[in-house]
Amino acid sequence: MNTPYGKKVFISHSSKDKTFARLIATDLVEAGHNPWLDEWRIKVGESIPRSISIALKESEYVLVILSKNSIESKWVQEEWYSKYWDEIEAGMVKVIPILIEKCQIPELLKTKKYADFRGGYSRAFKELLFALN
């Protein structure tokens, strides 16, 4: 999964949106990127919070899959919050919202353009790839 030129991308999602998270992760690998998806990277017996913390520090971007499920998830909120502050300090995009269904967008993400997957996967995925380059 490691590629010399691809971006390290953490995929923040609710476990209820796992099917979409797997799809986007698989397509990111095909596009030459290095996505971090919990079920691919955390081994049995490893500390889940520690693994997530390390992955967030090492990732260049956090993709936040926005859905009714993820908005209610404290885990998802904590994951993207941690990278959001890095974004402010660096003055560079680090958090990329991905909208998969109509939901209440968190206040700190409302001003960001999101990849809108509600109207078609292919077009939105191309926009996401453009943002990662």
pLDDT at 2: 45
pTM of the model: 0.89
pLDDT (tens digit, 9 = 90+) per residue, 77-92?
Answer: 988 988 998 888 888 8
Average pLDDT for residues 29-39, to the nearest whole number?
Answer: 93
pLDDT at 116 over 60: yes
The mean of the pLDDT values for the chain is 91
42-79 tens-digit pLDDT = 888 898 889 988 999 999 999 999 999 999 999 899 88
**With helix as H, strand as E and coil as C, how does 10-69 read?**
EEECCHHHHHHHHHHHHHHHHCCCEEECHHHHCCCCCCHHHHHHHHHHHCCEEEEEECHH
Give me the mean pLDDT over the 16-28 stretch: 96
